[in-house]
Amino acid sequence: MTKRERFLDWIRNGDPNDLPVCMSWGEDTAASFYGKDHSEVTVEDQISVAEETGIFNIYHVHMPMPFVAADFLDDVSIHEEWDHSPDGVKRQTKTLVTPAGKLTSITEFPKDIGAHNREFYVKGPEDMSVLEDFIRRSCSEIIRNPEVAEKVKKESEEAILSLHGDMPSACHVFCSAVELFSCYYMDQTTALYLSVDFQDLFEELMELHGKTTDVWMDTLANTGLDIYTYAINGYEWLSPSLYNRYMIPQAKRINERAAEQGKLSWLHTCGKLKHIAKAGMYHQMGVDVLESLASLPTGDIDNLAETRREIGPDIVTRGGMNVELFYADDPSVVREKAEEVIAATSGYKHMIGDTNGTYPAYPWANIQALLDVVKSSGRMYV
């Protein structure tokens, strides 16, 4: 079997005593290993670092969003500018224009911490009419115009072919409530207020957005894709009632469609998931793989062995190593945490790795420290 086939087979049929090392993004790992900027990393770099180190990388071939439709709409446009803030931080400004008005977001890329949003598109209720106009126009175009889906399919197929069968491929689709409430449109505080004030509108837009996710998954069903990934926030701001009303049914919709196609479903929650696991919500969703099992302060897991037991043997897990550990000056911090994670997840199918994609790249010495611990355990799966 190829490395890709071994990885996929382990997820479905593997031995819990085997321990893969799987980092969040192959691009990040290759940038760290070769000392390159992310923009310089090639597909070949990601394949070769996996072969040289034993790490399993996943290649994300696409992340289709409503923005994809902008190229097919005469009255919607997105403008992008790069510059630096007054204190020298690299930043990206995006301006979304529709007939209803315009929205602006700013993303910063500091050298010492991960990239983050300085400003989101939606800053208050005054921006909701533009968001509504954009979602209605873009999602309707995706649903009615097959050329939009064909564009995503072509780009995805080209990316999958570039892997030569050597690396698992994934497409990141979206749980519609998560995308509308956070991520690219608004911060969490704004989302909480607006989700109450505009509940009916949000639910209408969620259903429309969910239909576009169906389009993406149907379009990619026969492309050779291996995995559908998606993300849902934890209890850092979402509540059990929001999970039950939106997150569980929307996740089930993705997971069931993935299973029907013979593909894996992979859920990313990098925040507070301890009580979600305790409530059995991941079983209700029916997901195949769950990440990221973050401990304090990024997440809320204070007893990883207990949380892993509550997740249960039917769900494969990944992560456990908080992002901030990989920026430590002393690799012994990584070694100590890795030993703790290996012990706590023993007896369950777990891929050890970081808890999120990040920028800039980690110092390679810290990833090597993780590899050394896993190798010394005698359980490293390659």
Which pTM was predicted? 0.94
| Nearest-angstrom CA–CA distance, 186 and 193 | 11
Residue-by-residue pLDDT tens, the chain, 382 positions:
999 999 999 999 999 999 999 999 999 999 999 999 988 999 999 999 999 999 999 999 999 999 999 999 999 999 999 999 898 999 999 999 999 999 999 999 887 666 788 999 999 999 999 999 999 999 999 999 999 999 999 999 999 999 999 999 999 999 999 999 877 899 989 999 999 999 999 999 999 999 999 999 999 999 999 999 999 999 988 899 999 999 999 999 999 999 999 999 999 998 999 999 999 999 999 999 999 999 999 899 999 999 999 999 999 999 999 999 999 999 999 999 999 999 999 999 999 999 998 878 999 999 999 999 999 999 999 9
Q: Which two tokens stand for residue 175?
A: 């749980």
CA angle 238, 97, 116 (to 5 degrees): 40
Beta bridge partners of 321: 354
Backbone phi, then psi, for 266, in 5-degree steps? -140, 110
Evaluate whether 308 touches 350 at the Cβ level (below 8 Å).
yes
Buried b (16+ CB within 10 A) or exposed e, 21-50: bbbbbbbbbbbbbbeeeeeebebebbbebb
Residue ranges in 220-272 assigned as alpha helix (H) = 240-242, 248-260
CATH match for 3-75+122-377 among 3.40.1000.10, 3.40.109.10, 3.20.20.210, 3.40.50.620: 3.20.20.210
- Residue-level pLDDT at 314: 97
- Residue-level pLDDT at 113: 66
Beta bridge partners of 60: 170
Evaluate whether 332 touches 369 at the Cβ level (below 8 Å).
yes
- Beta-strand pair 169-172/59-62: parallel
